[in-house]
Amino acid sequence: MLAPSMRSLAAISILAFILVNPSGVAQVLKSSNLELRLVRQVGPELAEGVVMAGPFGISISASATIYVADDLAHQIYVLDTELRYLRSIGKHGANAGEFSYPDDAVEGADGLLYVADTGNNRVQIIRPDGRHIRTVSRFGWLRTRFRNPRAIKFGTAGQFYVADWGNHAIQLLDVHGRLIMTLGGHGTGPGEFDGPIDVDTDAAGRIFVVDHGNHRVQIFDESGQFVSQFGTYGSAAGQFKHPSGIAITADGLVFVADTGNHRVQVFSSGGQPLSQFGRLGEGPTEFLEASDIAVHKNGDVYVVDKGNHRVQQFRATVQ
């Protein structure tokens, strides 16, 4: 979600972010009317003895708490909006409250944390202090049976979508974990997926699915009917190499973590490419497999830089 002061961004037809200093030490990306500044970054070390091993998914709660899922450390990190470390949740294992390669953690309206416990083929619902409440699903084929769930997104009335990677499906569940609707199936055609890895919804209720193996984003209406798609394999503007994350603002800007191209691309709500930022590297504003994005209500953009074991925070201002 973008803050009201950022609403004019949606009307900009081409944003054309450019690195100010091509040497790789630049901390500002800008066009003639927009500046995206690197505010700060955190990682690999978060605190003494706490080191990011493989950060993957990121989310921001309504109370402005940031959750980062580290699928190699088998933990969820809790940060504030200035990327200060608060605590860790979980440890490696298969018992209640333990995780195996978790890829996402999202806070629901009920204040509980919903974790895509990918390696354990389940969604765990826990308190913010880590205490286990309940578990949704076990390993299996569809019908609220998961095979490596990768991401979670809340819809209306507590319903939530799960990107079910191994079943090549998006499952919509109610607050009790009962199946409402399933999208997809394995394939390359419209409405089919090859490893759906993330999901988000826009203000109109449309469902955007990051179709990782097919190098595209697919759009469905609220009832699950296929609407359109954008993206093909490649490195040109509007193309993807194994995209992994998505975040949609209140004004309909679509941010996609184009993981294999080590960048973030920005699209209109209809899938037209508007901009991109980042490139392969270890310096500020550079990425090594950007895997997910979250946009704060104040307009700040947080990018998980998986291969560099860090999170970068950007702030955008209209000139």
Number of neighbours of residue 193 by Cβ within 10 angstroms: 28
d(CA 295, CA 272): 19
- The type of residue at 205 is G
Of 40, 26, 37, the C-alpha closest to 311 is 40
Q: Which whole-number Å values give the CA distances from 271 to 114, 255, 256, 261, in the listed order?
A: 29, 10, 11, 18
Instruction: Enter the DSSP assignment of 240.
Output: B
Among 318, 236, 302, 224, smallest CA distance to 273 is for 236
Chain segment 148-169, per-residue pLDDT in tens: 999 999 987 789 999 999 999 9
Residue 5, strand partner residues: none
Query: Which burial class, exposed, middle or buried, applies to 50 when counting CB atoms under 10 A from its CB (0-12, 13-18, 19+)?
Result: middle
Q: How far apart are the first and last CA of the chain?
A: 20
Cα 74 from Cα 144, distance rounded (Å): 23
Using alpha carbons, select from 313, 256, 312, 304 the residue that is nearest to residue 71.
304
Query: How far is residue 168's CA from residue 178's CA, in Å, rounded to a whole number?
Result: 19
Beta bridge partners of 246: 256
Count other C-beta atoms under 10 Å from residue 230's C-beta.
20
Cα 236 from Cα 257, distance rounded (Å): 14
Q: What is the C-alpha to C-alpha distance for residues 81 and 312, in angstroms, rounded to an integer?
A: 11
* Joined tokens for residue 177: 């974990």
Q: Label residues 265-278 b or e (16+ Cβ within 10 Å = b).
A: bbbebebebbbbbb
Task: Please check whether residue 114 is in contact with residue 159, taking contact to mean a CB–CB distance below 8 angstroms.
Answer: no
Query: Biggest alpha carbon distance in the chain?
Result: 53
- How high is the pLDDT of residue 318? 55
Segments of the chain scoring below 50 in pLDDT: 1-33, 140
pLDDT of residue 145: 80
| Site of tokens 């202090």 | 129
